[in-house]
């Protein structure tokens, strides 16, 4: 196995030369063939075969045994500093350990210099084993020993703190990934209520999630707090983090480029979702600018319209312009709890940019008084309907705008269900805790009740039963 924690190009300077082929290539006397690429939101897994070639005198080329190599390429480490949270790296390290067979040889680990990031990965890996086997950790002496073998392992104070953060998160949260073959039995056990404590493992898990959810400081969402943006927020308590904001690009007079929205990863695609609030009367144009500017092919609406809460219809019956964006109705379809509409949208100020087809999915099976939908089957049907449209229109690569009233619990629940379905399909595991923790790292109100958290587990059970 090869673990790679860098990105090949930094600005205009080539940091690392790509050393693997798109198809098949011979490097010296080693033939390397790419067999499979599995892209995920935070890393990529590539599978290669390698074999040594040799020449028979006068008889041409021959080959030695074929070996299979997996490369795990962690793509979400920023150019400068460390990741904001260790959640992604912990999932990456555990996946490497899970897929590394006991009889395998040493793992090759590298970054650009083979020092800072490489040291972080190795230190986290060693400390996870130490915590599991001995019930203690010793990060200082671990890194001191690494540095005695290779200079500058864990190179900066920031990286040293990050390793501590990673191990603290690992010790608090544990390994919550469940193989699909064990999921039904595990879910039954963690759902059982202890009559003495009136609690359950799943309730304890949700309480742990609340403890480790990052606390939002005013300086983290300074843009949403600017006076000019106050009337663009439904609630001052639900503001997007500055680092997760999708800034609007298309120009609409003197209005700002702010919208109360946050970019979110799915399991397999970075920034697959843009979670936002139901548009206010004064932000409808901003909403459609968002859809157009970020090449969104789908909108998922999870709340009911309610004039008392300024939740009005924000789409046209035929055709209308919202700021610079023209939205034209094309067709509609209804299926039980799902009502869909297809629109053609374009920027009238830049007609050369062409138009986009957008499908609007209005989920009408989630009453305002309920934390969760009555039907798990209906929400799964919505996920399948969405995936089919995304695959048909954008090859599965398009973004989806997801909204409820404030862009909180309902939106987070839907995004988590989508990610869990991808996780089951791609890796045959289910990790609800990791999925919701990842969402909350970018927006702290994602999946905000225990009932919603349990609902994700229950939908995963239903999804498994559909195979």
Q: Dihedral (C-alpha) 237, 242, 246, 252: value to the nearest 10 degrees?
A: 80
Q: Which domains does the chain have, with CATH numbers?
A: 2-173 (3.90.190.10), 210-465 (3.90.190.10)
The pLDDT confidence band at residue 11, using thresholds 50, 70 and 90, is very low
166 token code pair: 């990673």
CA-to-CA distance for 288 and 299, rounded, in angstroms?
10
% the chain with pLDDT above 90: 79
Q: Which of 109-113, 374-378, 419-423 has the lowest mean pLDDT?
A: 109-113
pLDDT at 45 over 60: yes
**Surface-to-core class of residue 133, CB atoms within 10 Å of its CB (0-12 exposed, 13-18 middle, 19+ buried):** exposed
Least confident segment among 9-13, 243-247, 418-422: 9-13
Question: Which residue do the tokens 């690009």 mark?
Answer: 249
Mean pLDDT to the nearest integer, 381-403: 91
Task: Identify any residues that bridge with 43 across adjacent strands, giving them in sequence order.
Answer: 74
Arithmetic mean of pLDDT, 250-254: 80
Average pLDDT over residues 2-31: 74
User: Does pLDDT of 371 surpass 80?
Assistant: yes
| Residues 193-216 pLDDT 10s | 888 888 899 999 999 999 999 999
What is the rounded (10 degree) CA torsion for 22, 27, 30, 35? 0
pLDDT value at 10 more than 60: no
Q: Could you tell me which of 269, 215, 222, 267 has the C-alpha nearest to residue 244?
A: 222
Residue 1: other Cβ atoms inside 10 A: 19
pLDDT of the residue at 79: 83
**Contact (CB, 8 A) for 278 and 291:** no
pLDDT tops 70 at residue 15: no
Question: Closest Cα to residue 84, out of 222, 216, 176?
Answer: 216
- C-beta of residue 215 within 8 angstroms of C-beta of residue 85: no
Residue 21 in tokens = 């082929």
Please report which confidence band the pLDDT of residue 143 belongs to, taking 50, 70 and 90 as the band edges.
Answer: very high
Our measurement of the distance from residue 341's CA atom to the centroid of its chain's CA atoms, rounded to an integer in Å, reads 27
Q: What is the 3-state secondary structure (H, E, C) of the chain?
A: CEEECCCCEECCEECCCCCCCCCEEEECCEEEEEEEEEECCCEEEEEEEEEEEEEECCCEEEECCCEEEEEEEECCCCCCCCCCCCHHHHHHHHHHHHHCCCCCCCCEEECCCCCHHHHHHHHHHHHHHHHHHHCCCCHHHHHHHHHHHCCCCCCCHHHHHHHHHHHHHHHHHCCCCEEHHHHHHHHHHHHCCECCCCECHHHHHHHHHHHHCCCCCHHHHCCCCCHHHHHHCCCCCCCCCHHHCCCCCCCCCCCCCCCCEEEECCCCCCCCEEEEECCCCCCHHHHHHHHHHCCEEEEEECCCCEHHHCECCCCCCCEEEECCEEEEEEEEEEECCEEEEEEEEEECCCHHHCEEEEEEEEECCCCCCCCCCCCHHHHHHHHHHHHHHHHHHHCCCCEEEEEECCCCHHHHHHHHHHHHHHHHHHHCEECHHHHHHHHHHHCCCCCCCHHHHHHHHHHHHHHHHCC
CB-side neighbour CA atoms (13 Å) of 30: 11
The whole-number pLDDT of residue 317 equals: 94
Residue 144: both structure tokens together: 């001191």
pLDDT digits (tens, 9 = 90+) for 299-345: 999 999 888 888 899 999 999 999 999 999 999 999 889 999 999 99
Q: Indicate which residues carry an active-site annotation.
A: 111, 404
pLDDT of residue 59: 56
CA distance 360 to 454: 27
Summarised one tens digit per residue, pLDDT across range 409-422 is 999 999 999 999 99
């Amino acid at each position: 196995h090869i673990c790679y924690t860098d990105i090949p190009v930094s600005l205009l300077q080539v940091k690392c030369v790509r050393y693997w082929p798109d198809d098949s290539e011979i490097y010296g006397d080693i033939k390397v063939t790419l067999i499979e690429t599995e892209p995920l939101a935070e890393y990529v897994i590539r599978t290669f075969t390698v074999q040594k070639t040799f020449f028979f005198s006068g008889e041409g080329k021959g080959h030695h045994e074929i070996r299979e190599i997996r490369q795990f390429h962690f793509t979400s480490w920023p150019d400068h500093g460390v990741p904001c949270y260790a959640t992604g790296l912990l999932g990456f390290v555990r996946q490497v350990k899970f897929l590394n067979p006991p009889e395998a040889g040493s793992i090759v680990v590298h970054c650009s210099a083979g020092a800072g990031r490489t040291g972080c990965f190795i230190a986290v890996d060693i400390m996870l084993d130490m915590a599991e086997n001995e019930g203690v950790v010793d990060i200082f002496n671990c890194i001191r020993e690494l540095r005695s073998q290779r200079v500058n392992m864990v190179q900066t104070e920031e990286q040293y703190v990050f390793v501590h953060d990673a191990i603290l998160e690992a010790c608090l949260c544990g390994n919550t990934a469940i193989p699909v073959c064990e999921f039904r039995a595990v879910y039954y056990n963690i759902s059982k209520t202890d009559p003495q404590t009136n609690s359950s493992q799943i309730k304890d898990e949700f309480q742990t999630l609340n403890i480790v959810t990052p606390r939002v400081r005013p300086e983290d969402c300074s843009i949403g707090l600017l006076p000019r943006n106050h009337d663009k927020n439904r609630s001052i308590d639900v503001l997007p983090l500055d680092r997760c904001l999708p800034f609007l690009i298309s120009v609409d007079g003197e209005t700002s480029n702010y919208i109360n929205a946050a970019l979110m990863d799915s399991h397999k695609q970075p920034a697959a979702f843009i979670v936002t609030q139901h548009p206010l009367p004064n932000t409808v144009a901003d909403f459609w600018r968002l859809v157009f500017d970020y090449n969104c092919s789908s909108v998922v609406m999870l709340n009911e319209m309610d004039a008392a809460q300024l939740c009005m219809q924000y789409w046209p019956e035929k055709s209308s312009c919202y700021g610079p964006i023209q939205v034209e109705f094309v067709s509609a379809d209804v299926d039980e709890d799902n009502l869909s509409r297809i629109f053609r949208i374009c920027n009238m100020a830049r007609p050369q940019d062409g138009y986009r087809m957008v499908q609007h999915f209005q989920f009408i099976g989630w009453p305002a008084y309920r934390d969760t939908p009555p039907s798990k089957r209906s929400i799964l049907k919505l996920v399948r309907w969405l995936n089919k449209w995304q695959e048909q229109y954008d090859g599965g690569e398009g973004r989806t705008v997801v909204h409820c009233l404030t862009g909180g619990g309902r939106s987070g629940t839907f995004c988590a269900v989508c990610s869990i379905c991808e996780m089951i399909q791609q890796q045959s595991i289910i990790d609800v805790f990791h999925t919701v923790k990842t969402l909350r790292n970018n927006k702290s109100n994602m999946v905000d009740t225990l009932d919603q958290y349990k609902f994700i587990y229950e939908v995963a059970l239903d999804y498994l039963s559909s195979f």
